Structure 1
């Protein structure tokens, strides 16, 4: 898994996150990990999976430069530490409850409404999403959709083209956008469109320990 993450084009991913607030990491989840995730009976059980913690730690280290860049361009003084363990130690005693992986299991005509997880103290500004079965084979529809709201403009829709085994990185709630007069904050929410056939199994994973 770490080699799959390390071989990705991270300068390109960082540029895409700065421009769009989302990016696809192709082929990070292998068949064994996907099978293990699908076999779990509840999201709570996944907190005992060491591989989930390894995933969070490794992706945190890759994404923390983007998170700190977003703070810097908006003149936010705080910076995130280099490792997830350091960040956990920093917020421990303030927010002790870890949010476990969030599974979605959507059947025909079901969808997931627009939402975000950013209204939390000590929230890391980026999170992971995945689809654990194959679009076009196991289900149709169920596209992962983001909407971006810029001041005095209509919402902008974005479709994240996830395949089985991919990880998506998205802004949890807000990101900086460079306008004519400098950077300003834009708001993002995400959703899953209506499933037209089959069953869609998805996963959301936060990278912080905030409540």
Structure 2
């Protein structure tokens, strides 16, 4: 996919137009993969302004209060704006084959149906009825502790974060961090600068790692390094709901 976006193109087409074989290879190797552009700067700005519309959200979390880091995030209600629901619905079928492949390698169940709506209904039936779609805002000195987004027994193994501001222009610092716990060895870390309008697909919990005795789960966590200046906004797309 080129770096030129056509704003009139449906978000589903932009997601479909990504280099999915390359993304899958990166997810297999590292547990994360950076997409090409998904949103224009104007579309990113429109999403950041939603943060100041409290009626769109079911709850607001002060990260420092809960010792999650520092910053603020808000969970959307189930009445999602189109610019949130459309890319989520478009990503699910593209990520589903990899989710099933990972489950097969690890010898785990793959409960995910072909349709996102059916999967969300399964979450609700299991007592996970809260929207997990999230809009985050970080200011100077804010950061996000390493964690995993597991909200109940049912989870989808991949999720997406979309950068809504331009690094080095709108803010400094704030790299996306991942660590991988390796068996009988020190953890391995990585950092990704998230370009405006691009997405990062990454593992919710772990990735399959091939060893001499076959496949095992490599636990992974993600977070955000300290923002040094101005504000950083991101959109988080999660494919399971919360208890």
TM-score, normalization by structure 2:
0.80
For 1:49, the equivalent position in structure 2 comes to 81
Do residues 7 (structure 1) and 20 (structure 2) align? no
For 2:72, the equivalent position in structure 1 comes to none
* Aligned residues of 1:29 and 1:167 also touching (Cα < 8 A): no
Mapped to 2, the partners of 1:120 and 1:152 lie a distance apart of 29
For 1:166, the equivalent position in structure 2 comes to 198
Q: Shift in Å at residue 32 of structure 1?
A: 4.1
* Aligned residues of 2:179 and 2:220 also touching (Cα < 8 A): yes
Do residues 122 (structure 1) and 162 (structure 2) align? no
CA offsets, 1:114-156, max 9 Å, x none? 1111262111111111221110001111111101111211111
Q: Structure 1 residues 75 and 200, CA, compared in 2 at 3 Å: closer, same or farther? A: same
CA offsets, 1:9-43, max 9 Å, x none? 11111111111110011211233432321111246
For 1:193, the equivalent position in structure 2 comes to 225
Do residues 76 (structure 1) and 108 (structure 2) align? yes
Aligned to 2:190, what secondary structure does the other structure show? Answer: strand
TM-score, normalization by structure 1:
0.92
Do residues 66 (structure 1) and 128 (structure 2) align? no
Instruction: Structure 1: state its 5+ residue gaps.
Output: none
Do residues 24 (structure 1) and 37 (structure 2) align? no
For 1:132, the equivalent position in structure 2 comes to 164
For 2:44, the equivalent position in structure 1 comes to 34
Aligned to 2:159, what secondary structure does the other structure show? Answer: strand
RCO comparison, higher one (Cα < 8 Å, 6+): 1
Do residues 151 (structure 1) and 161 (structure 2) align? no
Greater alpha carbon shift after TM alignment, 114-123 vs 136-145: 114-123
> In the comparison of the two structures, how many residue pairs are matched?
211
